[in-house]
Amino acid sequence: MGLFSLFTREIAIDLGTANTVILHDNKVVVDEPSIIAIDSRTKSVVAVGKKALMMEGKTSGEIYTVRPLRNGVIADFQPTELMLREFIKMTNTKHSLITPAMKMVICIPSGITEVEERAVRESAEQAGAKEVRLIYEPMAAAIGSGIDVLDANGNMIIDIGGGTSEVAVIALGSIASKKSVQVAGDRLNTDIKEFMRREHNLDIGIPTAEQIKINVGAAITQLDNPPADYEVYGRDLVHGIPRSIMINYQEVATALNNSINAIEDAVMQALNVTPPELSADIFKTGIYLAGGGSLLRGLDKRINKITQLPVHVVEDPLRAVARGTAIALKNLDKFESLTKY
Ligand SMILES: Nc1ncnc2c1ncn2[C@@H]1O[C@H](COP(=O)(O)OP(=O)(O)O)[C@@H](O)[C@H]1O
Ligand SMILES: [Mg+2]
């Protein structure tokens, strides 16, 4: 290890609405939900990540939890900074006495405004970064999915995260067409919550809705390998007491139908504005699905049905963006034009 690398730490950050993933030396050093618990009296951090997630929906009094990046934008500057700072601290596993200078590549949603971009950059600098580069999410997702983004051959990538679904066509190192909608994992959770209330008179919290989605979520009502029915606990809206019921994937598919339609619309719109030469490429290469939302059962089939194109869910889709960000960091000379200061 050279002297330089002793004092400079290079990290790649996927600052997602749902999860923050940080890679250092090709290793995942942080993989935590993007949530923070704060004490309103002292404005100090009570917990971040998984620990803060366990408190969600259960806090009272002075302690509250925030997801600072809801909807893919920085709604709250201060909690974002606090959260980022805590996550960056976690990367200092050697507990070295000297704080190394840090070089970071941070992945940001492509629909972010300049003000929000500055907020991310400043948060990183406040957290100790000496050099910060930003990369857009679809680009990072594509690189992390093994797509040769600098090639002339066009590829379509869909990244379905917590707050946004981003559809992009990438060729020659740039985004040729894109479409972003604020319908993604979070919306699916509220769909499930509303469905349970409407159809079953059962009030559930968002964490429970998330568990339903992961255990019995589906985008289609005919699955080849259906998951077993799932027991849901909540509060009965008529009697006000705790109750449980069994839910099957077909019900969840019905609950999610409108939101999946909205994602499909975004894909169709992106295809409609894609230049013809790139369209021809996509006809052959198909569509790549990344982000946690791509794990929804049958979503690939459904997108295949409407577009008539081959659809591939990329390997380890929850970490594709972080992987791509790390590759960009390692090969900054090659990917220089894809990142920005
Ligand atoms: N097995 C699964 N099925 C459906 N959705 C999932 C699954 N696993 C994770 N998700 C969803 O993926 C989203 C998080 O994906 P991620 O790519 O980390 O988002 P972001 O980039 O916004 O942080 C969450 O909304 C989560 O509920
Ligand atoms: Mg993401």
Considering the chain, what is the average pLDDT of its residues?
A: 91
Residue 50 forms part of a structural domain: yes
Output the pLDDT for position 232: 98
Residues 328, 302 share a domain: no
Residues 287, 183 share a domain: yes
Strand order in the sheet with 63-66: 44-48, 36-39, 63-66
- Ligand index nearest the alpha carbon of residue 213: 1
Strand order in the sheet with 230-236: 202-203, 230-236, 242-247
CA dist 98 to 8, 92, 101, 312, Å? 11, 10, 9, 45
pLDDT at 221 over 90: yes
In this prediction the pTM is: 0.91
CA 321–ligand 2 middle distance (angstroms): 6
Probe target for ligand 1 pocket from 296, 302, 319, 323, with the most ligand atoms within 8 Å of CB: 296
Q: How far apart are CA 287 and CA 130, in angstroms?
A: 37
Which residue, 88, 96, 97, 116, is CA-closest to 11? 88
Output the pLDDT for position 95: 60
Tell me the per-residue pLDDT of 2-54, one tens digit each, with 9 for 90 and over.
455 566 889 999 999 899 999 998 899 999 999 999 998 998 999 999 999 99
Tell me the per-residue pLDDT of 284-324, one tens digit each, with 9 for 90 and over.
999 999 999 999 999 999 999 999 999 999 999 999 999 99
Helix, strand and coil percent figures for the chain, each rounded to 5: 45, 30, 30
CA dist 203 to 86, 132, 235, Å? 34, 44, 5
Residue 236's domain spans which residues?
151-313
CA 37–ligand 1 middle distance (angstroms): 21
Atom 18 of ligand 1, residue of closest alpha carbon: 19
β pairing state of 101-108 and 129-136: parallel
Atom 3 of ligand 1, residue of closest alpha carbon: 296
Tell me the per-residue pLDDT of 243-293, one tens digit each, with 9 for 90 and over.
999 999 999 999 999 999 999 999 999 999 999 999 999 999 999 999 999
- Ligand index nearest the alpha carbon of residue 325: 2
Confidence bin at 230 (pLDDT 50/70/90): very high
Residues 331, 277 share a domain: no
Residue 94 forms part of a structural domain: yes
Q: How far apart are CA 114 and CA 100, in angstroms?
A: 28
Kindly give the residue spans of alpha helices, DSSP state H, lying in 61-149: 77-90, 114-126, 137-144
Residue 96 forms part of a structural domain: yes
Tell me the per-residue pLDDT of 139-196, one tens digit each, with 9 for 90 and over.
999 999 999 999 999 999 999 999 899 999 999 999 999 999 999 999 999 999 999 9
CA 276–ligand 1 middle distance (angstroms): 32
Q: How far apart are the first and last CA of the chain?
A: 27
Residues 225, 105 share a domain: no
pLDDT at 57 over 70: yes
Q: How far apart are CA 111 and CA 87, in angstroms?
A: 24
Ligand 1 atom with the shortest distance to the CA of 188: 25
Joined together, the tokens standing for residue 309 give 């194109």
Residues 23, 65 share a domain: yes
Joined together, the tokens standing for residue 217 give 């979520």
Tell me the per-residue pLDDT of 58-100, one tens digit each, with 9 for 90 and over.
888 899 999 888 755 666 678 888 898 899 888 876 666 666 7
Ligand 1 atom with the shortest distance to the CA of 161: 19
Output the pLDDT for position 1: 45
Residues 101, 193 share a domain: no
- Ligand index nearest the alpha carbon of residue 321: 2
Q: How far apart are CA 311 and CA 307, in angstroms?
A: 9
Question: Interior CA angle at 70 toward 245 and 254, to 5°?
Answer: 35
Pocket of ligand 1, beta carbon within 6 A: 16-19, 161-163, 185-186, 210, 213-214, 217, 291-293, 295-296, 318
* CATH number, position 277: 3.30.420.40
Residue 101 forms part of a structural domain: yes
β pairing state of 287-290 and 230-236: unpaired
Probe target for ligand 1 pocket from 164, 295, 299, 325, with the most ligand atoms within 8 Å of CB: 295
Please state the domain count of the chain: 2
Output the pLDDT for position 6: 60
Residue 174 forms part of a structural domain: yes
Residue 175 forms part of a structural domain: yes
Joined together, the tokens standing for residue 323 give 């992987």
Residues 297, 180 share a domain: yes
Residues 303, 172 share a domain: yes
Atom 19 of ligand 1, residue of closest alpha carbon: 161
- Ligand index nearest the alpha carbon of residue 141: 2
Residues 250, 285 share a domain: yes
Residue 146 forms part of a structural domain: no
Output the pLDDT for position 114: 85
Residue 156 forms part of a structural domain: yes
Q: How far apart are CA 174 and CA 151, in angstroms?
A: 10
Output the pLDDT for position 126: 83
Residues 58, 121 share a domain: yes
CA 42–ligand 2 middle distance (angstroms): 31
Residues 208, 116 share a domain: no
Residues 131, 270 share a domain: no
Q: How far apart are CA 150 and CA 338, in angstroms?
A: 9
